[in-house]
Amino acid sequence: MATTPSNMKGFYKLKKNKSGITKPTSSKKSSLHLVPSLGSDITQLTALISHGSPDLKDYHDNHEELMRQFDINMAYGPCLGMSRLARWERAQRLGLNPPIGFEGLLKAEKVRSECWWDGRI
Amino acid sequence: MTAMEIDTEKNIQRKHSTYQSLDKTFDIQNEIYRGQQYSQIYFARLHTMRTLLYSLVTHWKPSCPCLLMTFISVILEVSGNLEVMVVFRVLDFNGIGCEVYVVDRGHLYMVLVNFISGAFFKFFFSPICNGLGFCTVLGLEEGKECIIVGTLFKHMQLKPCVLDEYSKERSAVPLVKPHNFMHPDDHLVLEDESGRVKLGGTVLSPSTYVTGGVVALHGKETTAGDFLVLDVFEAGLAPQIEPQLKSREDKYVVFISGVSVGSSTSNPLQFQLLVDHITGHLGDEQEQGIAAEIVHVVFAGNSVEIPLGLLNGQNLASKDQSRVSEAVQVLDILLSQIAAGVSVDIMPGSNDPANFALPQQPLNRCLFPGSRTFNTFNSCTNPHCFELDGVRFLGTSGQNIDDLKKYSEARDELEFMERTLKWRHLAPTAPNTLGCYPFTDRDPFLIESCPHVYFVGNQDKYGTRILEGSEGQMVRLISIPKFCNTGLAVVLNLRNLECHTLSFGAQPSTLKTFNDA
């Protein structure tokens, strides 16, 4: 519903309404940014939608696949609760020789900074 | 009787010593909670201890003709009679190295090689421990003897579990917590990244061990799926650095713990007597001469006790607010009297206004407006590590030993302290039953360098002993009793690490004498 400027002023001004409760004239709904455009099952999609956008592209990214293998590898310890870069640096410091290319990938932000399960568990 | 006059020629000077605080590992600094998990600290602990145990385990099993090693990757032939098998593996956190396996006349020897700046090498010949291979828990084969390294987990029946509230049957376990949760049916489990295995056999007694220690076990898997332990190997005492300056004069360090200013059991006169003695306001010249040799004072926790009834989350009335701060103000006044003359360290304890989880951060300096003006006043972390004239001190306010008392048994507190030194970990039960900050990159409680003096505060009685290590390390173990109950402070002589007590009593009948052990 279109509103005139004077109406908007009346709406936002902090003064007591003389005529009791008035409905706000602006009916601008706060839009849900995460409107699912594919699929109908909303509960399923909230799991996929993290960080504000559906990350379907991660499934097909080769770099992401490599990083997932890094996450799963038990030799570098648990992956939850740590950013990937912190985990890589810890592995480096403990002398576990993590692949050096990963540091470059993480610092150039070509892959997600958190592990694969972050936000999903 | 001569009149008392102020003799300016006979001014007794207090002795000096060099103090260096080594608390950096215990500082939490700018760490932010981002969802860190406790499994990270266990991984850091296991990895560091495992690397250490791998390098030490050759001392455990002396030379013997061997069997096959489980990991052999590249076989090279070197000119000469030696057949060389090279396995590249990271040895320890000091640098990259590799293990070279050399077969000489049918015997397999392991050579540890350190790469220094790319060129050749330092050779350490050490025969493989009895030809036994290292194994991960998942790689165990039935009937085959091997060595596994992992974290111990003690399964305890009586350990309080949060799920007990939800159990349908109200079992016969009493709701009142016993002081010790041990049970004859407790068993140990060894865990590493790949899996866990139940430990059997009579060599490992569950009453000695607690969850969280890392050990190496020699044994084999039985048909039942258990691991039958034939021998246990702990890391033992860490290497000790010799103090460079051996002082030839007597210098004393005073330890007090459990002063509990503000509690109903503490006697303010006792504490005032202690302060007066340290500052030299008590006694004649001889007494003052003795007091002048005190170079450092350590308050090992529980210095203040705020009445618990006031801390129930309600807003405090103004008269209650003054009651809360009273105890700390009194402590500040007395600390400033000491700090004016001697360097003082104050550590937080379980009852002090500091955080709950170990490592406890230093008591905030705004609690001590009077004392903090002196540069001799140091507010320290718990655990606390410092060096005085080259002598290394390490100690806690007692939470680590109290927790060990609940989950294992020993003759006395000194034996618990000895075990923590041998496991090279100050608080093995953290974070399982002892509150601990979720570090991800390191375990700050690992003891890398053996201290010369190891003290624990807030214990029930005084005890002290010299512990000797396999490589000539000597540690003075001190169990400091609670001052409010016993009136005892412990005094250590830096020259020869001998200990004795100072006893303060308000009534003559309560004075006791103790000999140094």
- ipTM score of complex: 0.73
The pLDDT value recorded for residue B152 is 94
Question: How many A-B residue pairs are in contact by the CB < 8 A criterion?
Answer: 50
The pLDDT value recorded for residue A60 is 58
3-class DSSP assignment, residue B195: coil
Of A81, A94, A97, the CB nearest to B35: A81
Average pLDDT, chain B: 81
Instruction: Say whether pLDDT at B13 is over 70.
Output: yes
Q: Say which range, B105-114, B170-179, B401-410, has the weakest mean pLDDT.
A: B105-114
Neighbouring CB atoms inside 10 A of B188's CB total 23
- pLDDT bin (cut points 50, 70, 90) of residue B422 is very high
The answer to whether the CB of B386 falls within 8 A of the CB of B174 is no
Q: Say which range, A113-117, B264-268, B479-483, has the weakest mean pLDDT.
A: A113-117
State in Å, rounded, how far the first CA of chain B is from the last one. Answer: 41
Mark out chain A residues that contact chain B at CB-CB < 8 A. Answer: 74-75, 77-78, 80-83, 86, 89-90, 93-97
Residues facing residue B220 across a β-bridge: B145, B228
Average pLDDT score over residue span B310-320:
78
The pLDDT value recorded for residue A114 is 83
Q: Model pTM?
A: 0.77
Chain B neighbors of A94, CB-CB under 8 A: 44, 47-48, 93
Instruction: Say whether pLDDT at B8 is over 80.
Output: no
- pLDDT bin (cut points 50, 70, 90) of residue B384 is very high
Searching chain B, which residue's CA lies closest to the CA of residue A76? Answer: B43
Average pLDDT score over residue span B180-192:
90
Of B34, B91, B441, the CB nearest to A90: B441
Instruction: Say whether pLDDT at B79 is over 50.
Output: no
Whether residue B34 and residue A75 make contact (CB cut-off 8 A), yes or no, is: no
Whether residue A75 and residue B193 make contact (CB cut-off 8 A), yes or no, is: yes
Average pLDDT score over residue span B350-368:
92
Q: Pick the residue with more confidence: B487 or A58? A: B487
- Tell me the pLDDT tens digit for each residue of B52-73: 888 887 667 653 222 223 232 2
Question: Of A111, A103, A116, which Cα lies nearest the Cα of A64?
Answer: A111
Read off the tokens for B91.
């040895």
Searching chain B, which residue's CA lies closest to the CA of residue A77? Answer: B43
Give the span between the Cα atoms of B168 and A67, in whole angstroms: 44
The pLDDT value recorded for residue B140 is 85
The pLDDT value recorded for residue B283 is 84
Of B40, B96, B194, the CB nearest to A77: B40
Read off the tokens for A86.
């912190």
Q: What angle do CA B393, B376, B394 make, to 5 degrees?
A: 10
- pLDDT bin (cut points 50, 70, 90) of residue B282 is confident
- Tell me the pLDDT tens digit for each residue of B438-469: 998 889 999 999 999 999 999 999 999 999 99
Give the span between the Cα atoms of B239 and B217, in whole angstroms: 22
Q: Which of B37, B441, B446 to mutate to test the interface with A (most CBs of A within 10 A)?
A: B441
- Tell me the pLDDT tens digit for each residue of A70-107: 888 888 888 888 888 889 999 988 888 888 888 888 88
Give the span between the Cα atoms of B374 and B378, in whole angstroms: 9
- Tell me the pLDDT tens digit for each residue of B118-134: 322 333 333 344 456 78
Q: Say which range, B318-322, B326-330, B502-506, B508-512, has the weakest mean pLDDT.
A: B508-512
The pLDDT value recorded for residue B160 is 81
Alpha carbon separation from B484 to B270, B278, B308, B316, B373 (Å, rounded): 8, 17, 17, 27, 27
Instruction: Say whether pLDDT at A6 is over 60.
Output: no
Chain B neighbors of A93, CB-CB under 8 A: 93, 441
